[in-house]
Structure 1
Amino acid sequence: MPSENLENVKLEPLGTNKKLDEHSVLLEEGAGGDRVQEDGGEDYDPHLHREVENPTTNAETLIHLLKGCLGTGILAMPEAFKFSGMANGIVSTILIGALCTYCLHVLVRAQYVLCKKLKVPLLTYPESMKVACELGPKCLNRYAPYAPAVTDFFLVFYQLGICCVYVVFVAVNLKAVIDEYTRPTELSLTIYMICLFVPFVFIICVRNLKLLAPFSVVANIITFITFGVVGYYVCQDLPSFSELPSFGTLFDYPLYFGTTLFSLQAVGVVIALENNMKTPKQFTGNFGVLNVGMVLVTVIYVVMAMMGYWKYGNDIQSSITLNFPPGDILAQVIKLMYSIAIFISYGLQGYVPVQILWSNYIEKHIQSKPLFWEYVLRLACVLLTFILAICVPLLGLFISLVGAFCLSALGIAFPAIIELCAYWPDNLGPGKMILIKDVLLILIGIVGLCAGSYSCIFSIVEALAAGKT
């Protein structure tokens, strides 16, 4: 999952473009790597030139990484195992976790190489794509001016997709609790979403993230209490393990892939955390923060998904909280508490697309009343997420679609493109292994995006046609 709890971490590296001209680096249109200032480039260490106001220690960075990755996706993972099968799910989750971790290493390492070449302390993700296209193969040079906008598109789509997931999650769990006390009269899910609109507008209109910090601490506490309660429910009266299918169908596997990628991929978290570390060189070592954090996250996800699917089998729902005994007071309290935690996280997730759109595309065109128009943008983002959530109130499939469409690009294909261009043309390794490996990663990203998106959209249309909301 993305950075749900990074109120103390600068979010600028996610998508805010700075002007590279400020660093006196002029890249001619269509320039190759030989035209970049490289005199003394090997002696320049970007880490030593970063100015971070409140750098985080290794332990603090690890805690932020764990908090950022353990979000709503973990509650959807048991349903993902229904699509993959138990044995296939366990093995595939470990492999996808390893793939995500490796691609994050690739991205951080490639950005470091680009920073050394350009003699700048850091680059944002969109900047990295632009510079990579300028320095890479000639066939990519022409696309350099458009690279930041394409990257921003996926970042904004991803974050707004997360916001849609949060709206559906809160509404579904709230409905599940209230329906127990209003039967036989039950309001539709759309009514619950409409009632939640104003509170969500208020939370996204908080412009200073520090104001959300105390609430985020409460949200973190609720999150870990929820995980404990989930463990309490799934470990009781377990059925026979052998009755569960080991493999799902080939058509359903992309649904599993999208949900797992949504849950495990943390590209936004990693960029922000690495740029904010006191000792960034210790982020990517063999026993560095990234490896330790991702191993822990992957193990937690495998255990949670395995136990949830083992307990509920094919009856598992899009959020495991919906499988809890509906009349159980503890289950109802947890649903309400975790809905509050997700509501708070909506403010943090919505902050990112607002910042990208406002800083990069809108602010420069506003001549008067900038604050008013910024609030209009915030309102528009909430309105868009609610419209999408109302039109497609399918929590599990929405999670899978966001993961497959956005993270196949942001988390797999784009890092490979940046690395390929960063080492182009003379540092591609023996037998051009870096070229071969990155082309393979790009193909995996493209296949994941296309196959995952197709399966999700097909399943969404099929479910809506059948009236399954």
Structure 2
Amino acid sequence: MEWLNVEINGMVFFICSFFPFIFVISMKNLRMVGNVCILSTLIVFGGLGFFYWNYYTVVPPLDDIKITFPIVIHLPAFFGSLIMSLEAITVISSFEGSLRTPKRFTKFFGIFNLGMIIIIAIHSSVGFFGYYMKINDEKSYSDQAAKTFKYYTALYCIVMYIAYGLQGYILVDMLWRKTHKRTSNTKI
């Protein structure tokens, strides 16, 4: 397997990615989960900054090209990543009970709705500019720009990896509570 011009054995890649995933899923302390969320958010902002910096320095202006709408077959990839980010509801809703004012969480201008609006706006802008760069890729796109966007893709994959672990945290936490009650009451 070759990734970012580095040859990696498939088994080594699996082992290196499996244990951090198990670590994220099996965290018991909510403060540690919060720190992992902060790390993920910082990676997102770094990746978005990297993406837009490359966009404004490498890609020609919008006036130079005629934008056509995508074929319907290519849209599921964009909606798939958008739905994956909206699945963060499972992570966010578990924190609702620990808020000081949980009723304000889901109001019209509550943090939940504002967060989802921001996520949709970010994904829509990245989708639009990514599609625009794909159009330019066929015309006159440099090889260096294509390499730099691989790094953005790598950062985005790391964030998705952490997000899936955090979503699994909720499930493992619920299972742990149920099995812990059953196993702690049994006599050996």
TM-score (norm 1): 0.31
Query: Is 1:246 the counterpart of 2:64 in the alignment?
Result: no
The residue that corresponds to 1:267 in the other structure is 89
Task: Trace 1:330-345 onto structure 2 (pairs within 5 A).
Answer: none
Q: What root-mean-square deviation, in Å, do the aligned CA atoms of Structure 1 and Structure 2 show?
A: 4.1
Q: Please report how far the alpha carbon of residue 313 of structure 1 lies from its aligned counterpart in structure 2 after TM superposition.
A: 3.6
Q: Report the CA distance between 1:229 and its aligned residue.
A: 0.3
The corresponding residue for 2:128 is 306
1:222 aligns with 2:43: yes
Residue segments in structure 1 that go unaligned for 5+ positions in a row = 1-171, 180-185, 316-322, 370-469
| Change in CA separation of 1:336 and 1:263 when aligned onto 2, cut-off 3 Å | closer
Within 2, Cα distance between the matches of 1:337 and 1:252?
22
Partner of 2:183: 366
Question: In 2 relative to 1, CA 224–178 (structure 1 residues): closer, same or farther, beyond 3 Å?
Answer: same
Shift of 1:307: 0.7
- When residues 281 and 210 of structure 1 are mapped into structure 2, their CA distance, relative to the original with a 3 A threshold, is closer
Which amino acid letter does the alignment assign opposite residue 307 of structure 1? F
Alignment pair present for 1:237 and 2:59: yes
Given that residues 105 and 112 in structure 2 are in contact (C-alpha distance below 8 angstroms), is that contact kept between their aligned partners in structure 1? yes
Task: Kindly state the Cα deviation for residue 306 of structure 1 after the two structures are TM-superposed.
Answer: 0.5
Q: Output aligned runs, 1:58-77, within 5 Å.
A: none
Q: CA deviation at 1:288?
A: 3.6
CA distance in 1 between counterparts of 2:70 and 2:159 reads 34
Q: Does the residue aligned with 2:123 lie in a helix, a strand or coil? A: helix
1:319-334 equivalences in 2 (<5 Å): 325-326=146-147
1:60-99 pair list within 5 angstroms: none
C-alpha distance in structure 2 between counterparts of 1:290 and 1:312, whole Å: 33
Gapped regions of structure 2 (runs ≥ 5): 138-143
- How many residues were matched structurally? 178
Equivalents in 2 of 1:364, 1:314: separation in Å?
A: 58
Q: Give the match's secondary structure for 2:21.
A: helix
Q: Which residue of 1 aligns with 2:117?
A: 295
How much does 1:246 deviate? 1.1
Amino acid at match of 2:168: G
Could you tell me how far 1:340 is from its partner in structure 2?
A: 6.0
The CA distance in 1 between the partners of 2:18 and 2:133, in whole Å, is: 35
Of stretches 298-307 and 269-278 in structure 1, the one that deviates more from structure 2 is 269-278
For residue 350 of structure 1, the aligned residue among 133, 156, 168 is 168
Matched, 1:200 2:21: yes
Q: RCO greater where, 1 or 2, for CA within 8 Å and sep 6 or more?
A: 2
Letter in 1 for 2:42: I
Question: Which digits, 9 at most, give the CA deviation of each residue in 1:236-284, with x for residues without a partner?
Answer: 2237542x431423x5555554433223354324533543443344344
SS for the counterpart of 1:366 is helix
- After superposition, the Cα gap between the structure-2 partners of 1:293 and 1:365, relative to the gap in structure 1 and judged at 3 Å, is closer
Percent identity over the alignment is 28
What is the CA-CA distance between 1:197 and the residue it aligns to? 2.8
Larger radius of gyration: 1
What amino acid does structure 2 have at the position aligned with 1:263? S
Equivalent residue for 1:80?
Answer: none
- Tell me which amino acid in the other structure corresponds to 1:246: F
Q: Is the 8 A contact 1:223 1:341 kept in 2?
A: yes
